[in-house]
Structures are given as C-alpha cells and as structure tokens.
Amino acid sequence: MMAVHATPGPSMHESHRPWQLVAKSFDSYPFIAPGNAWIMDEAEKEPARRNFIEQIIEEHNQSGRFDGRVHTRFPPEPNGYLHIGHAKAFCLDFGLAEKYGGKCNLRFDDTNPCKEDTEYVDYIQEGIHWLGFDWEDRMFFASDYFEQLYEWAEKLIADGKAYVCDLNAEQMREYRGTLTEPGKASPYRDRSPAENMDLFRRMKAGEFADGARTLRAKIDMASPNVNMRDPVMYRILRAHHHRTGDTSCTYPTSDSTSGQSDSIERITHSVCTLEFENHRPLYDWYIQQLGIFAPQQIEFARLNLTYTVMSKRKLLQLVSDKLVSGWDDPRMPTLCGLRRRGYTPESIRNFCDTIGVAQFNSTIDLQDVENSLRDDLNLRAQRVMAVLRPLKVVITNYPEGQTEELDAANNPADESAGSRRVPFSQTLYIEQDDFMEDPPKKFFRLGPGREVRLRYAYYITCTDVIKDEDGKIVELRCTYDPESRGGSTPDGRKVKATLHWVSAAHALDAEVRLYDHLFDRENPDMVDEGRVWTDNLNPRSLERLAGCKLEPSLANAVPGDRFQFERLGYFCVDLDSTPKAPIFNRTVTLRDTWGKVQKKR
C-alpha cells in the first residue's frame, strides 16, 4: 500500500468536479492511495481506470468542445535539470496524449533570460527521451512567440486594457495590497492609449533604464485574486537571452506568456500543478480580451518525496555549494542523478503511473519509488557475487593451485537468463560480517566449528581463526566437504546459512559506493531554530568502499550495466568506471532497511 501523507491543499475548482466518486473501499484496490481519484464506474462497481483529468478530457470529447482533439504540452523553464517531480508532470502530459491518440508538445518557457541556459535545454530533452517520450517535430520556445506577444500587447494598449506604469518594484508591492486588503490604483493607470503606446515602444527601443517602467494589464486592483491586480506584462531587462541574444531589452513575464503560448499551439488541455490554479483567471482574461483559441487548464498536485528536496533553487544550491558532486550525483532526485544511480526508466514511469494524480498536495514515501525500482530490477538484473568487506578464507583440504568452475544461475526468477561459470579455488573471500567468533543465539552464519554452504559451491566448516597483533581477525581456516559440490550432500545434512564468496585469485578489485538518503529528515524543509535546511543533510549519505572483490564475469561490465550482488542489493557501473578502476554504485538495497538503521542510531 502506498503511504501518502495528506496535507490540505487549495480547494478544487467547481468546474473540475462534475463527477461522482463511488470508491467503496481502498482496500480492494491496493495501489490506489486516498486522494488518488480513480473514477469508478457506477454500473460495474469496478475502477474504470480513469483519473479526474481523463474524466474531464472524456467529457470534452463527448461534448465536442475540442472536436475530439487532445493536445497537451510540457512547459519546462530551462533554468535547471529535470527531477522526478517533472517526470510526474511529463509522464502525465505525454501519457494523456498517447492514451487519447493526441499530441504533446515540448515548450520551453524561456521568459527569464537571467537564469536560463542552453545547457539546460539539452539536458531537459535528454531526460524526456530517457523516459521514452518524444515530441516529434513539436519542440517550441516561448521566445518563438515574442513578436506575436508584442503585437498582442499593443492591441491591449490600443483597447485601453494595458498601461505603462512608472512605479518601481517596491512601490508596486505597496500598491498591490494584501490577501485581506484591496490594492490601490497606480497613479499611471489612466494614461491614454496613445501615451501608453508611445512609452511602450520607447521601452522596447531601449530608451529607459532597467526596471524604470513596466507594462501592466488593466484588470482590477480590488480583485480578491492578487494575480488579477494589474499584473506586470513586460519588464525592462538588459540581459542576454540564450536564444534571442541581446536583441531585446524588454521581456514578457511568464504569466503573460503561458496562456497565449498554449493558445498559439492550440493546446486543448493545459495540465499544470496546483499553484497555477490562481493564475488561471488571468490566463483566461488575456485569451478573452484577445479573442483567441481557449485551452482548458487543469491543475493537479505536485509530487513531493520524503527525505529529499525538489525545489530547483535548493537543488542548484546543493550543486553550487558542492554539497553533492553535481546535478547527476547519484543521491540527487534529478533524472540524471537517478540514472547514474542505476534507476531504470521503466521503474520511474511505473512509479508515476501507480501514484496517480491527486488534487491535494501530499508527500509520497521515497520507499515507494525504491520499491518500484526493486520490482523492475528483480526481473531484469543479472545475479553475481561480490564481497564488499572481504575476509580471507583458506580451505586447508582443497588442493593448492586447483581451480574448478561451478555453475551459477543468472536469475533464479527467470530461467531464460541462463547460467555462468564461477571459479572456485583454495583461497576465497567472504563478507566480514558473515563471521562471528562468538556468535549470539540468532546468528546462523559462520563461526568457529560451524558449517555453512557457499553459494553454488560446497559446505565449509571453520576450523581456525587467525588474528593479527592487534587481535583483528585477518583470516579463517576452513575445511570443505568434497561431496557437497553444488550445495547439497548425499546424507541430506542441513546447514542454516548460505554465504556468497569470490575466489581470491580470480577476483576483480573495485570501488563500491553505498548511498543512503540525502537528508536524514523525512521533511528536509523542517528546520530547527538557528539552523538552515542544509543542516538536515545526512552525513552518512555516501560511503565509499575500496578493495571490494567482484567475481571475474564483471570484467566486461560497462557504465550503466546493472546487477544484483547476491544478498547485498542492486548495483550499477558508474559513469566514471574504467576497466582498470571499476566503480559500482549501489542503486538500492534488496529490502528497505532505513527503519532499522534509524533505530540503531
């Protein structure tokens, strides 16, 4: 069952809930979290597998509002890397188009030249493609529409619907009022259309200093919706734009661009997150005044995950303050970070699908993303043996210099994955914590005088423990039972543990990086007094182990390859790995162990 922590969000807009929810019990639909508004078919009492957005689309298709057309878009701002929250959004945008035989555009919302860059434009495309979606020939930029937007701004000026205002930013804030008090009209509000037109053209020609004047929509300073209190449409900004260069010193605001851009592209369903609900009346206002095609905006709740942050500003700070190694640090919730960590695109898409869409903000357990990944890797990851913290074992009755090859299954869950040969010899490595000199009752692994099974190999019994001068255990001496080859004996004797191992002479040396949650608080934004959010970073989020021993079949692994290291988790070859210096990232443990670790601390 998905864990969802609900927090009340903005109320739903009336027009978005014309249906009835007939869900009887969530228990019969184990993957449906409360607030995940699957629409149930009254007649069948079965989930019709339609979320509230699909319901709206189907109503439009029935009423013929968009002539049966479904055309969505994903509108990222090229000012950062995509994260799993964005994936939630674009899986929905592209997914809806796919489901209804429609189209989905990629449109960069590049209206803020100060923070934007072509580097981001490239990585955003890569991220969407990685998850398997494609915009075909429909990649656009809001800046493609700057001329059209400028013409429309002049039309609004001519119609007396927009004016040039000389208030500076601070004054404008004062005049705007608050949530409880209406705003005051700007002293420049009643300028004539002719004067406004002249000033606006001179703004564009570069006659005025940055911030000296703005163009504002003339709507309603008393509106209960602050967005409708004469919002700024254009500001003067001498900044280099990543596409239009230095050709312009006036830029439209994102709010006076989004709705019109959707309209230009004839987007039918403009799906966005809840914080835009209060912007919808403004977008609709522009469209009405201009008399242009009217898309339907539909809002859903952002994805939030425990133990991580999703704000681009914070992610940027982690990178620029070098608190992580980069945007693709395997601990980051960015798509490139998840990819480097070893996440499969399928597991992310599956996760986004499974959580559904909600109309109130909630936080999903990071564990749910990890479980989706485990499910996927369990099916596809080849099993291998690797020892992370090696302890040497010498088998005294095994012929010195002899090597034999044992048969090991590549994936016990999938016979078609076949098997491979693993070398066995007199000297092996096992995991340090698979041995205890003085084992407590519940420890069933190796100890003095005990017998265990070596996976795919033999039964061994520990006869001696060798220590160094400091009393540290450095080697075990064991005997093996030649009759137990393959893991069972003719007398059917049972052992309580099966250990993984690697033959010392054949082992590959590697570095292995273990990751834990980036933050040690479920909600990293909850900051104790006198501290800052970065104090919530988990100091144990990265552990680098050198001198790990891997079975030789891993010699041919290349960056991106994924494996299950038996008993240890899923691992993938890091981007920086080379055949001479292999590096593996632990993608995820076999089971969730966070709860246990927390208790121990």
- Nearest to ligand ATP of 7, 419 (CB atom): 7
**H helix or E strand, kind and range, residue 492:** none
Sheet harboring 250-252: ordered strands across?
Answer: 162-165, 214-217, 232-236, 250-252
- In terms of DSSP H, where are the helices of 207-320? 258-264, 280-290, 312-320
Residue 487 C-alpha from the chain's centroid: 42
Report CA-CA distances (Å) from 136 to 129, 258, 406. 11, 21, 50
| Span interacting with ligand ATP, options 25-33, 80-88, 424-432, 527-535, rule CB under 6 A | 80-88
> 440 — phi, psi (to 5°)?
-70, 170
CA–CA gap between residue 329 and residue 325 (Å, rounded): 5
| Span interacting with ligand ATP, options 41-49, 86-94, 377-385, 449-457, rule CB under 6 A | 86-94
Residue 299 C-alpha from the chain's centroid: 20
| Span interacting with ligand ATP, options 45-53, 73-81, 181-189, 328-336, rule CB under 6 A | 73-81
Q: How far is the CB of 116 from ligand ATP (least distance, A)?
A: 10
CA–CA gap between residue 574 and residue 73 (Å, rounded): 33
Q: Which of residues 254-273 bind ligand ATP (CB under 6 A)?
A: 272-273
Is 88 an interacting residue with respect to ligand ATP (CB under 6 A)? yes
483 belongs to the catalytic site: no
Q: Which of residues 172-211 bind ligand ATP (CB under 6 A)?
A: none
Q: What is the separation, in whole angstroms, between the first and last Cα of the chain?
A: 27
Token couple for 398: 């095994």
Q: How far is the CB of 300 from ligand ATP (least distance, A)?
A: 7
| Span interacting with ligand ATP, options 27-35, 76-84, 325-333, 550-558, rule CB under 6 A | 76-84
- Nearest to ligand ATP of 204, 302 (CB atom): 302
- Nearest to ligand ATP of 176, 312 (CB atom): 312
Token couple for 453: 């099974």
Q: Is there a contact between 464 and 473 (Cβ–Cβ < 8 Å)? A: no
Q: Is there a contact between 46 and 38 (Cβ–Cβ < 8 Å)? A: no
- Nearest to ligand ATP of 278, 488 (CB atom): 278
Q: Is there a contact between 215 and 153 (Cβ–Cβ < 8 Å)? A: yes
- In terms of DSSP H, where are the helices of 293-358? 312-320, 335-341, 345-355
Is 427 an interacting residue with respect to ligand ATP (CB under 6 A)? no
- Nearest to ligand ATP of 75, 345 (CB atom): 75
Is 86 an interacting residue with respect to ligand ATP (CB under 6 A)? yes
| Span interacting with ligand ATP, options 3-11, 79-87, 358-366, 586-594, rule CB under 6 A | 79-87
Amino acid residing at 183: G
DSSP-derived 3-state class of residue 590: coil
Q: How far is the CB of 76 from ligand ATP (least distance, A)?
A: 4
In a 13 Å sphere around the CA of 498, the CA atoms on its Cβ side amount to 12
| Span interacting with ligand ATP, options 26-34, 83-91, 169-177, 550-558, rule CB under 6 A | 83-91
Catalytic residue among 58, 77, 195, 346: 77
Q: How far is the CB of 126 from ligand ATP (least distance, A)?
A: 15
> 284 — phi, psi (to 5°)?
-65, -35
- Nearest to ligand ATP of 277, 329 (CB atom): 277
Scan for tokens 């927090």, then name that residue.
7
CA–CA gap between residue 480 and residue 153 (Å, rounded): 85
| Choice from 75, 252, 342, 390 touching ligand ATP (CB under 6 A) | 75
- Nearest to ligand ATP of 186, 308 (CB atom): 308
Burial of 149 (0-12, 13-18, 19+ CB in 10 A): buried
Token couple for 317: 């700070």
| Choice from 303, 357, 422, 514 touching ligand ATP (CB under 6 A) | 303
> 569 — phi, psi (to 5°)?
130, -170
- Nearest to ligand ATP of 303, 369 (CB atom): 303
Catalytic residue among 103, 302, 453, 562: 302
Is 287 an interacting residue with respect to ligand ATP (CB under 6 A)? no
312 belongs to the catalytic site: yes
The answer for residues whose C-beta is within 8 angstroms of residue 166's C-beta and 6 or more apart is 188, 212, 213
Contact track, ligand ATP, 217-256, x by CB under 6 A: ----------------------------------------
- Nearest to ligand ATP of 310, 409 (CB atom): 310
Q: Is there a contact between 183 and 222 (Cβ–Cβ < 8 Å)? A: yes
DSSP-derived 3-state class of residue 313: helix
| Span interacting with ligand ATP, options 72-80, 262-270, 389-397, 528-536, rule CB under 6 A | 72-80
Q: How far is the CB of 575 from ligand ATP (least distance, A)?
A: 25
Is 302 an interacting residue with respect to ligand ATP (CB under 6 A)? yes
Amino acid residing at 558: V
- Nearest to ligand ATP of 144, 451 (CB atom): 144
Q: Is 567 left (phi over 0), alpha (psi -120 to 50) or beta?
A: left
Using CB under 6 A, count the residues that bind ligand ATP: 14
Is 73 an interacting residue with respect to ligand ATP (CB under 6 A)? no
| Choice from 73, 241, 269, 312 touching ligand ATP (CB under 6 A) | 312
| Choice from 6, 13, 61, 77 touching ligand ATP (CB under 6 A) | 77
Rg, the chain, Cα only: 31
- Nearest to ligand ATP of 273, 317 (CB atom): 273
| Choice from 9, 85, 337, 345 touching ligand ATP (CB under 6 A) | 85
Token couple for 245: 């260069």
Catalytic residue among 204, 218, 312, 445: 312
Is 89 an interacting residue with respect to ligand ATP (CB under 6 A)? yes
**H helix or E strand, kind and range, residue 543:** strand 542-550
> For strand 583-588 and strand 569-573, is the pairing parallel, antiparallel, or unpaired?
antiparallel
176 belongs to the catalytic site: no
* Interacting residues with ligand ATP (CB under 6 A): 75-77, 79, 85-86, 88-89, 272-273, 302-303, 310, 312
Residues marked active site are found at: 77, 302, 312
